C-alpha cells in the first residue's frame, strides 16, 4: 500500500514564532519524516519571513484569520498568546491532503512519528492526547476541576501508556474528555470545517472557553476523538508531574506549553524546565550553524526574535 497524501501542518502569524517554526521543521527533517511541513500563514506575516520559510523548502499556505465575532470571546491577559489559535482550525480546509497531523509550532519532534499518517481513524473523527489537568503552577483562572486526581494522565504508567492511552468512560471526571490540541490527527474535509465554523459562530459555549481551539475541538468532537498516547504530545510539565508515565527516550513530540517558551528565556533561566528547554536550544544551535552558511540574512532575522540575555 502506498503512503497517504499527507502533511504535517502548523500556523505562523507573527515573526516572534519564526524560530520555533523553523526548529520544528528541522526536527521533522532530522528524524527522517517522509512528509512535508505545511505552514499556514496569515496576511499580516511579512514577506521576509515567508522568504525564509520557502528557502527552507517549507510549503506555505495562505489562510485568512479565523475567530469568533467581535466581543464574543475574551482572553485574560495571561493567555493573550492564544488569540490567533482559532486559525489553526483552517487545517481542516486543506483538502488537497488525505491526512494531516496538526502541530503547534512550540514543539520539537524527537522521534519519527509518521505512523500517525496511517492511524486508523474514521473520516469525521480526530485523534489527540489528553490535557494535563493537574495545574501544577496553580494558575487561578484554570477550571476548578483541574486537579491532580481528575487528570487522565494519572491513570496510566510506563510502559503500557505508550500503547494504551487513558480510557474515557461515562463515569470519568470531566477533564478526561478534554484534549490538548498541540498534536491533532485529522482527515481534512470542507464539511468538517463548515461544522467547526458554524459551531464557532453559534455555540453559547464559545464565550466560556479558556483554551480557544482546544476547547472547541473537545466539545465539537465529543465521542469522536481517539486518545493518543502521551508521547505524541509530550507536555513539558508531564516530566515532573507524571514521573511514572514519562521516559525521555520515548518522547516523539515535545510540547513547550505555558507562556514562557525556550526562545523567550535566556539559557540558564528556565528553572525546573531548564533541561527540556536546553533540548530546544540544542536544535536551535544546529539550525543556526547551517543557516549562517546557507542563509545568513535569514539567520539574522530568525535570531533577532530569540532572547539570549
State the pLDDT confidence band at 78, using cuts at 50, 70 and 90.
very low
Q: Kindly state the average pLDDT of the residues 170-189.
A: 97
Angle at 203 between CA 197 and CA 206, to 5 degrees: 90
Cis (ω within 30 of 0) for the bond into 159? Answer: yes
Assigned CATH topology for domain 6-304 = Spore Coat Polysaccharide Biosynthesis Protein SpsA; Chain A (3.90.550)
* pLDDT of residue 76 exceeding 50: no
Work out the pLDDT band at 69, boundaries 50, 70, 90: low
For the cut 90, the answer to whether the pLDDT of residue 246 exceeds it is yes
* Collapsed DSSP state (helix, strand, coil) of residue 146: coil
The predicted pLDDT at position 84 comes to 79
* Residue 264: other Cβ atoms inside 10 A: 16
The number of C-alpha atoms within 13 Å of 203 and in the hemisphere containing its C-beta is 19
Task: Check whether 17 has a pLDDT greater than 60.
Answer: yes
The Cβ-side half-sphere exposure at 185, using a 13 Å CA radius, reads: 23
Mean pLDDT calculated for residue range 73-87: 58
pLDDT in tens, 18-43: 999 999 999 999 999 999 999 999 99
Q: What are the pLDDT digits (tens) for 285-294? A: 999 999 999 9
Apex 199 CA angle, 193 and 200, nearest 5 = 90
Encode pLDDT of 180-227 as tens digits: 999 999 999 999 999 999 999 899 998 888 888 999 999 999 999 999
> Sheet holding 126-130: strands in order across?
59-62, 37-41, 6-12, 99-103, 179-186, 126-130, 225-227
Predicted local distance difference test score (pLDDT) of residue 285: 97
Res 75: pLDDT: 45
Check whether 305 has a pLDDT greater than 70.
yes
Amino acid at each position: 500500500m502506498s503512503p497517504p497524501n499527507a502533511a504535517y501542518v502548523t500556523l505562523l502569524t507573527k515573526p516572534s514564532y519564526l524560530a520555533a517554526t523553523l526548529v520544528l521543521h528541522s526536527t521533522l527533517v532530522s528524524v527522517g519524516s517522509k512528509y512535508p511541513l505545511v505552514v499556514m500563514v496569515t496576511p499580516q506575516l511579512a514577506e521576509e519571513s515567508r522568504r525564509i520559510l520557502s528557502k527552507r523548502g517549507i510549503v506555505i499556505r495562505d489562510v485568512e484569520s479565523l475567530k469568533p465575532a467581535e466581543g464574543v470571546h475574551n482572553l485574560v491577559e495571561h493567555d493573550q498568546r492564544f488569540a490567533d489559535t482559532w486559525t489553526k482550525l483552517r487545517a481542516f480546509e486543506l483538502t488537497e491532503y488525505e491526512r494531516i497531523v496538526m502541530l503547534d509550532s512550540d514543539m520539537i519532534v524527537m522521534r519519527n512519528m509518521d505512523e500517525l499518517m496511517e492511524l486508523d481513524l474514521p473520516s469525521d473523527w480526530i485523534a489527540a492526547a489528553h490535557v494535563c489537568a493537574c495545574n501544577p503552577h496553580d494558575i487561578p483562572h484554570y477550571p476548578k476541576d483541574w486537579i491532580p486526581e481528575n487528570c487522565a494522565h494519572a491513570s496510566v504508567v510506563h510502559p503500557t501508556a505508550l500503547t494504551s492511552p487513558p480510557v474515557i468512560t461515562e463515569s470519568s471526571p470531566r477533564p478526561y474528555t478534554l484534549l490538548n490540541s498541540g498534536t491533532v490527527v485529522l482527515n481534512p474535509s470542507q464539511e468538517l470545517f463548515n461544522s467547526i465554523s458554524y459551531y464557532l459562530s453559534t455555540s453559547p459555549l464559545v464565550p466560556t472557553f479558556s483554551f480557544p481551539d482546544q476547547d472547541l475541538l473537545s466539545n465539537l468532537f465529543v465521542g469522536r476523538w481517539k486518545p493518543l498516547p502521551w508521547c505524541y504530545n509530550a507536555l513539558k510539565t508531564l516530566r515532573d508531574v507524571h514521573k511514572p508515565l514519562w521516559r525521555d527516550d520515548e518522547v516523539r513530540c515535545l510540547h513547550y506549553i505555558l507562556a514562557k517558551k525556550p526562545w523567550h528565556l535566556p539559557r540558564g533561566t528556565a528553572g525546573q524546565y531548564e533541561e527540556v528547554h536546553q533540548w530546544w536550544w540544542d536544535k536551535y544551535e544546529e539550525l543556526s550553524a547551517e543557516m549562517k552558511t546557507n542563509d545568513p540574512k535569514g539567520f539574522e532575522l530568525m535570531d533577532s526574535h530569540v532572547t539570549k540575555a
